[in-house]
Amino acid sequence: MPRYFLELSYKGTAYSGFQIQDTGTTIQSVVTEALQTIFRQPFALTGSSRTDAGVHAKQNYFHFDTELEISSRQVYGLNAVLPKDIAVHRIVPVADDAHARFQATSRSYRYSIHTQKDPFLTETAWLYPFPIQKEALQEAAAVLMEYTDFTSFSKRNTQVNNFNCQLSRSEWMEKDGLLVYEVTANRFLRGMIRGLVATMLKTGRGTLSMQGLRQILEAKDCSKADFSAPAHGLCLMQVNYPTTILTLS
């Protein structure tokens, strides 16, 4: 059966996460309902990357199978049905065996922090009004690049075969008046980025040394890390695929 990739972005504030679950409205449930409203037939969506409740995305993907011929014109109608905090950017035909989740080669996230109260940032950045040594943050981000086992930064009860992640980017920077952490890896663990951010901020405040950060990483014990960074500061920026995946578009 023909397969399509659907690219979308969303503000996650009002949702209980990306993937359908038993309780709460999710991005997947809303998009599925919108597709079924437009095309008047059932759809089964597979997501590329899970995001938790309150987390946002500039780019994420679903794939689905259908015998219907779907064109770019129908993106307009779909967006008219969807709520204002979810936007579909394109729906493209792909190979029948293309997989939105398993064929993603890496994902890029951004965590945003503002240090002064701003009503326009309350749902998309963490208010952290404390002095921060930015050089220490950058050093901490570089330390992470030396490791592949992030057991200490995975929340409990995570059902994975291993805790290995290969980071290809880990960097703090100032952008548009915000302090942001940008990270790219082949995979991420549950709660991992929020744990990294909150723990690195301890180095930025001088309450955790670089050696202390290394000890947390090497302990392989999530009770050593700090997971206090709230979900609303996190945004999935990009999901990357081999160039062949979207060539049919």
Positions marked active-site: 52
Number of neighbouring beta carbons within 10 Å of residue 9: 17
